[in-house]
Amino acid sequence: MKRDRRERVEDLTDPWSGVDADRLARAAKEQAERVVPGIRNMGSYLASQVSDVSHREVVGPLLDGEGASGVVVRRDVVLASWGDPGRTEMAFSATKSVLRERLMEPLGASTGWSWHGYADSAVECDGRHLPVVSGGAHWGGGLWISALDLALIGQLCLRGGEWGGRRLVSVRWIEELWRPCPVKPNYGLSWWLNDHRTVWPGAPSTGRCARGNGGGHLLWVDPARDLVVSSRWGAEVESLLAEVSAAIEPAPAA
């Protein structure tokens, strides 16, 4: 039977429309048990990540990991969570540029996130001593942020850079994030694109992600499902994405 227009509009606003709640809950429970090993001692964990000891010295602050955590967000509602999604964690390369006044405050982020540079890496700019952006936290430092706050960035991208009636990021910038690179079609501007399922074969081709530490930190955005998944210190994230995506139907084609 054909549904009327009002029903279709309600489906597009109801975050639970087309969601298998039981399957989603199972996916969250299973991910809580898949923890990246060794993270409770960040110094030894980082040492194990780089084999070349000639540049292994830690030059930024460290934050020990607590365990797997994350959230599944759809249409501004947290549908599932695991671990402590409000706990601040090192983000590695999951997201590489965040601005407090321009982005995080308008998004309503917590005050728990922070950014840390390297002790030996700074430049002089107009008389100011500015730390240089650190690379992925492999030598310490970087962005420290919770799964909940990281999910806000994903929601902003999903909305094309608008939030609460304000434009925080240009449409062109979002387009560039997700534009395939000519020399590596599954990579955009610091985002991985799953269009051909070469990044995560078990996840939908409609998704794209910012990931760090081999996926141990993940921000996944799927416009077809109006979906954001933020995962911290979780192993086997492809299984998480496959299960969550299977539990949430994509929106019908326009």
Instruction: Provide the pLDDT confidence category of residue 44 given band limits of 50, 70 and 90.
Output: confident
| CA within 13 Å, CB half, 113 | 27
pLDDT tens digits for range 195-232: 999 999 999 999 999 988 777 889 999 999 999 999 99
Give the C-alpha separation, 156 to 165, whole Å.
12
Kindly report the CA angle at 127 between 126 and 132, in degrees rounded to 5?
80
Task: Find where tokens 């002089």 sit.
Answer: 124
Q: Is the pLDDT of residue 2 over 60?
A: no
pLDDT tens digits for range 80-119: 999 999 999 987 765 555 577 888 999 999 999 888 877 7
- Note the pLDDT of residue 95: 52
The one-letter code for the residue type at 120 is D
- Report the largest interatomic distance among the alpha carbons of the chain, rounded to a whole angstrom: 70
Q: Confirm whether pTM is higher than 0.95.
A: no
Which carries the bigger pLDDT value, residue 66 or residue 58? 66
Give the C-alpha separation, 78 to 73, whole Å.
4
- Note the pLDDT of residue 65: 92
- Note the pLDDT of residue 52: 67
CB 188 within 8 A of CB 176: yes
The percentage of residues in the chain with a pLDDT greater than 70, rounded to a whole number, is 88
pLDDT tens digits for range 99-109: 778 889 999 99
CB 219 within 8 A of CB 73: no
Task: Find where tokens 């310490």 sit.
Answer: 140
Q: Is the pLDDT of residue 13 over 90?
A: no
Residue 154: left if φ>0, alpha if ψ -120 to 50, beta else—which one?
alpha
The one-letter code for the residue type at 49 is Q
DSSP state of 140: B
Kindly report the CA angle at 70 between 179 and 105, in degrees rounded to 5?
70
Q: Is the pLDDT of residue 79 over 80?
A: yes
Other C-beta atoms lying within 10 Å of the C-beta of residue 102 = 11
The mean pLDDT of 174-196, rounded to a whole number, is: 94
- 183 alpha carbon, distance to own chain's centre: 24
Domains of the chain: 19-247 (3.40.710)
Q: Is the pLDDT of residue 141 over 80?
A: no
CB 84 within 8 A of CB 66: yes
The percentage of residues in the chain with a pLDDT greater than 90, rounded to a whole number, is 62
- Note the pLDDT of residue 1: 43
The mean pLDDT of 37-58, rounded to a whole number, is: 78
| CA within 13 Å, CB half, 50 | 15
- Note the pLDDT of residue 6: 46
- Note the pLDDT of residue 232: 93
